Each structure stands twice: as C-alpha cells, then as structure tokens.
C-alpha cells in the first residue's frame, strides 16, 4: 500500500532576506523549524535547510536499508551510526545539490570488514532515498566496522 508523507512550509519575504518555517504535517514530529536562504550556503544560526532535511532523510533511509540487509543475511547489527553530508553548490546551471556522502560505523557481531563494506554499498544503492537521488546527485559511502 502506498504511503504519502507531507511537509508544509510558510515563507515570508524575498529569497535573500526572507524566512520560513517547515513542519512535518504527517507525523507532527517537528513543527515550525526555521529555514532561510542563508542556512543553505552561509551560517545556519539555528535554522535548517532543504539540504539538511534531505541529509536526515538519506541517513535514516540508509540506516534502515543496511539494518534490513544485514538481518536478512543472518548478521543483524548491534548498532549503526550513520551520517549523510549533502553538498549544495553553484554550478553552471545554477545552484544544485551535487552530492550526498554517507558515512557508517557499525557494530555487527560475526561480520568481517569486507562483508560490512559490501552490505553498506548494497544499502546505499538500494535505499529509496538513494534511488530518488540517483542520476542527479553523486552518491558515496564510507563504511567502518567497529566491532
């Protein structure tokens, strides 16, 4: 069954001096997070950006995909620490999200470093957020097995 998630934004003013607020309309997990143009490419000063929200979505989706893949292989993780660094940059065609670099550190009993690297690569390629970004954004993964 399809699932639809919704977020709402209210924006006031022009791009450079304006400000907005984003809320998770479906879950209500967060409300009125402040957003601004400056948070995208200057100092964040307590504000978020679309890119930070994409980074959160990518890190969360990847963590779930990796956990699922490892468990299906009989090696459920004890813990995964995941980070996604989404880069927003000016290119010839204007401003674009150019990359999402995933980093994962995992505690997976009974798995070697090469097995963990392969599982992480597979999860990077297969997670739904990666699939949405693929072809438009450079994706990478750095995986470290901690124990």
Ordered alpha helix ranges (H), the chain: 38-41, 50-72, 113-126, 128-133
Domains of the chain as residue ranges with CATH: 7-41 (no CATH), 50-145 (3.30.300.20)
Mean pLDDT of the region 12-34? 94
**pLDDT at residue 38, as a whole number:** 87
- Token pair of 117 as six digits: 């690297």
pTM over 0.95: no
Q: Read off the pLDDT of residues 57-105 as tens digits, 9 standing for 90 and up.
A: 999 999 999 999 999 999 999 999 999 999 999 999 899 999 999 999 9
**pLDDT at residue 19, as a whole number:** 92
Task: Say how far apart CA 74 and CA 13 lie, in whole Å.
Answer: 53
- Token pair of 102 as six digits: 């995933």
Instruction: Please give the radius of gyration of the chain, using alpha carbons only, rounded to the nearest integer.
Output: 17
């Amino acid at each position: 069954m399809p699932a639809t998630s919704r977020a709402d934004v209210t924006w006031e003013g022009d791009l450079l001096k304006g400000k907005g607020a984003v809320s998770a309309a479906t879950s209500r997990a967060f409300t009125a997070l402040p957003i601004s143009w400056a948070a995208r490419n200057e100092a964040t000063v307590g504000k978020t950006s679309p890119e930070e929200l994409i980074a959160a979505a990518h890190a969360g989706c990847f963590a779930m995909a990796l956990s699922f893949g490892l468990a299906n292989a009989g090696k459920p993780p004890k813990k995964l620490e995941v980070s996604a660094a989404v880069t927003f940059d000016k290119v010839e065609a204007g401003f674009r999200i150019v990359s999402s670099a995933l980093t994962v550190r995992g505690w997976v009993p009974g798995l070697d470093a090469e097995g963990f690297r392969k599982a992480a690569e597979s999860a990077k390629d297969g997670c739904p957020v990666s699939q949405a970004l693929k072809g438009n954004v450079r994706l990478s993964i750095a995986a470290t097995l901690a124990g």
